[in-house]
Structure 1
Amino acid sequence: MRLPALPLLLTTGLAAVVQLQERQTLAGSNICSEIASNIAGTVYYALTEEFIDGVYHYMTSSEQTPECVVEVANAQDVSTILKLVGSTRTPFAIKSGGHASNPGFSSTTGVQISVAKITEITLSADKSTVEVGLGNVWTDVYTALQGTGVNVVGGRVEGPGTGGFTLGGGYSWKTDQFGLTCDTIQSYNLVLPNGTITSVDSSTPDLFFALKGGLNRFGIVTSIVMETHAQVDMVYGGLQVFDTGSIEDLIIATQTFQTENTDPKAQVILTINGGTIPGAILLSFYDGPERPAAFDPYNNITAIIDTLEGGNRGAFATLSTTGLTKAYMDAVYNESSFYGALAIVHEGLLLSYDVEPFGDYGQYATDSAYPHNLSQLPLNLYFSWKLAAEDSYWRGIMQQSINHLTQVAMDEGIYSADLYAYPNYALDTYTGAQLYGPTNAARLRTIQAQYDPNGVMELAGGFTF
């Protein structure tokens, strides 16, 4: 069972447990009890396994202790809850997979809404689309589609939910073939802030635009209808771990891959790590059964072992560039080494810089809140650490690192003011203009005012436009 940062009072005796349950129930007695009596789903309080699962986040620094966890059964439940929290001005949050790194974006001290039970995965009769409930993680979707001959443009690693990933844009192993995940959405099943249940597609262009990168500011999406694409039975790929002595060769190989690869089915992520486990990880994917020539630049670079780490405090941060140069990637490596040397002093664990060399995926861009028609390349910083006392230090260091690398990108001629930060990688300090550009941010504010005049979604954490 997963255990987030909740008070561990079980060792103080049964009386203390009962008192905690009473306090928790009383704290949430009004709104939580009212919700419980009006929905088909279930309301959970502290010390139950369902409550712990509902609060759980991949990074413990993203967790808060709510009054109750509400596990909704359907869109009607969501409608009822939005009406209640809106009328009582109760803070709330929506959690899909729990991979948001910004505190308060998918967690709350009020009503925690979990869509974990909305797990339908329905392939259309002609296999051209699939409806996906946002309680699924991507491995659920891929498993359900296994053997059907079709697949979707979805997540690249195990764990993230389908909800925040899609509503933030969605970079995929298949992005060079079909665009971001949001470019392949045919419709969203949305509960508006006033509780109205509706379907959003190209016939409602304003909301359709807003949900493609606008995250949780326009209501709660319960399911999405995605385009499917033909999928071969076998694909080539895997994970390789390298020591620090291989990083320069990996940088050179990645620059070659970025500038010379013309095969949209081939994709890699180079992760340069500092901290307690310095080195590099190369994730490789090919949408076909055999190793492609596109991976030849990585030949003769010897890998060592496989390793993974998770479950600590942490955060993401990002910047976008128009390309990759060796000097820029050397600077990324220097950042991981420089700040990695400070890890022991400040309880740092893993300082990860993910270089993602996509191709011309912007040709598939649709009208989206997150502008990506310029095929920008997102750099993803993922830092993890042990102690809450170090939160502000490491988040500040991440921004400091981004500022330095932005200057390097400017000096290298691979930075443009017309590129914007990928929302799913961005610190909570980013503004709407930094994420969406001034034009799109203004458009999003207008749409938000139209569909949420009472500011119901402002009761949930998230970016502001």
Structure 2
Amino acid sequence: MTGKKIKISCTLPYPRGVTHWASSSSQNATCSFEPGTAEDLGKAINVISTLRTPFAVKGGGHTTNPGFSSTTGVQIALSRFSDVVYDQESQTATIGAGLTWDTVYAALEPFGVNVVGARGPGVGVGGLSLGGGYSYLTNQYGLTVDTVQAYELVMPNGTVKNVTAQDEGLFFGLRGSLNNFGIVTRFTLRTFPQGQVWGGFITYSPDNIGSLNQAIVNFASNTTDPKAALMITYDYFLSRKSLGPSALVFYDAPTPPSGVFDDLLAIPYLVKNVSTMSFPALIQTSMANATYGSRAIFDTISVLNYSVPFLNAVVNETTFWGSSSTLGAEFVSYVVEPFLPSLYNHSSTPSAFPPTRANGFTPLKIYYSWANQTSDAAMHAAVQESTLHLQTLAGAPQAPRYPNYAIFDTPVEMMYGDNLPKLRSLQRQVDPEHVMGLTGGFKF
């Protein structure tokens, strides 16, 4: 099976080339270009550089930040970079940047292997891999950036380079700094054995929120098994006018040992959809695509330790903003993601993100969804207000914020910390003409 190539073909017309997961992230580009090779993309970058034309690069299109992967100029859609090539000898998979993770998992399943990637369907390979990459497998293997062996990079001058750890500066920069150093068209990732897993969704009544919060604290404080993972969502649907808490439990084996999830399983539930299944099937149980096509924004804080008072505050924020008649959000969600304190200990190679691996900070995602463009400014302001409030309560103001969740005006200092001078120096070397400044995203 060495060198086995799985071809996933996909031809997208112009509307699909510019359409994003969140409608508020889509723009009508002057044209949409779908290169088929890195060399063709390099030629386009040279033209764009010469004409100083605004452009955008779209992989999966899952960003909620307006203008980060969309433009009124030239839209570059990476959809034709859709190969998954598994190499049994090196235990790696080379993956096209135009794919989504659920497609990758399905392609690798016949070989009994997996990679460290996203936890929901529809999330693009490119953005997550360049911004960090938290996964159900992170406790075992680290972030996605910790597993990258090579990048196929179209540099700002149009040349194509295979970047590995031997290219110390660029390899460091590409591990977490998004699109600042060029356009990555393929990633070579380490693979890991993957069999059936246990997990799924449990939804609870708001009446049991006290028991749920205590169970989360118990899990975060006491669980040491790296095969276990947990995501908690506090959702508020305007249509239902009520809080809907739920847990997505995961264990990387057909059955978890007793004790790992007992507290969560003992709470009375409304719906429980938990069983043994394949990893791709588990990913499809996520409700991440439930609000596809709406207007949306993410933001984030970083948390070092979970406590019941802090989780109560998260519940209060969910209910307050979700039920606000003046705000009018269709959907408000706060996602708690506890990991082991050792989650950053899986790599000794420096990376742009996280800028420090000394503390096991974890991201908390804030997500608002709404219908009308006229509400954009109010929604952004509400998310930012809630973020500031919760970060104060979390007691970790200096902990780096996760770039893939951070709202568009987050200062780069808050994500890259002491790495920023080195990243700025590298950018001057790699992109002296500021070609990547013609596209959106967080810029150094």
Tell me the equivalent position of 2:371: 386
Preserved CA contact (<8 Å) 2:391 2:397: no
Matched, 1:195 2:180: no
Per-residue CA deviation, residues 322-342 of structure 1 (Å, 9 max, x unaligned), is: 111111111101100111121
Tell me the equivalent position of 1:432: 412
Aligned with residue 298 of structure 1, among 240, 249, 264:
264
Question: TM-score if structure 1 supplies the norm length?
Answer: 0.86
Q: Which amino acid aligns with 1:303?
A: Y
| Pairs within 5 Å for 1:120-199 | 120-126=83-89, 128-199=91-162
Q: Which amino acid aligns with 1:310?
A: Y
Higher helix share goes to which structure?
1
Q: Which amino acid aligns with 2:400?
A: Y
Cα displacement (A) at 1:248:
2.0
Aligned with residue 401 of structure 2, among 421, 426, 432:
421
Preserved CA contact (<8 Å) 2:298 2:367: yes
Aligned with residue 407 of structure 1, among 392, 397, 409:
392
Flag the 1:87–1:446 CA change in 2: closer, same or farther, 3 A: same
Tell me the equivalent position of 1:286: 251
Return the alpha-carbon distance in structure 2 between the equivalents of residues 132 and 464 of structure 1: 26
Q: RCO (CA 8 Å, sep 6+): is it higher in 1 or 2?
A: 2
Cα displacement (A) at 1:303:
2.7
4+ residue stretches of structure 1 with deviation over 4 A?
Answer: none
Tell me the equivalent position of 1:17: none
Preserved CA contact (<8 Å) 1:253 1:298: yes
Tell me the equivalent position of 1:13: none
Tell me the equivalent position of 2:282: none
Aligned with residue 339 of structure 2, among 351, 358, 363:
358
Per-residue CA deviation, residues 385-434 of structure 1 (Å, 9 max, x unaligned), is: 11111111111111100111111122xxxx152x1000000001111111
Return the alpha-carbon distance in structure 1 between the equivalents of residues 389 and 24 of structure 2: 25
Return the alpha-carbon distance in structure 1 between the equivalents of residues 234 and 22 of structure 2: 20
Cα displacement (A) at 1:89:
0.5
Aligned with residue 237 of structure 1, among 170, 195, 199:
199
Cα displacement (A) at 1:136:
1.1
Give unmatched runs, 5+ long, in structure 2.
Answer: 1-10, 274-286
Matched, 1:329 2:311: yes
Cα displacement (A) at 1:237:
1.0
Return the alpha-carbon distance in structure 1 between the equivalents of residues 88 and 137 of structure 2: 23
Tell me the equivalent position of 1:269: 231
Say which SS state the counterpart of residue 425 (structure 1) adopts.
Answer: coil
Aligned with residue 259 of structure 1, among 221, 237, 254:
221
Bigger shift: 301-310 or 259-268? 301-310
What's the RMSD between the two structures over aligned residues?
1.5
Per-residue CA deviation, residues 159-198 of structure 1 (Å, 9 max, x unaligned), is: 0110001000000000000100000000100000000100
Tell me the equivalent position of 1:5: none
Return the alpha-carbon distance in structure 2 between the equivalents of residues 125 and 183 of structure 1: 20
Question: TM-score if structure 2 supplies the norm length?
Answer: 0.90
Aligned with residue 350 of structure 2, among 348, 367, 374:
367
Preserved CA contact (<8 Å) 1:95 1:115: yes
Matched, 1:315 2:294: no
Say which SS state the counterpart of residue 423 (structure 1) adopts.
Answer: coil
Return the alpha-carbon distance in structure 1 between the equivalents of residues 143 and 220 of structure 2: 18
Per-residue CA deviation, residues 301-326 of structure 1 (Å, 9 max, x unaligned), is: 23324863332101000010211111
Number of aligned residue pairs: give it: 410
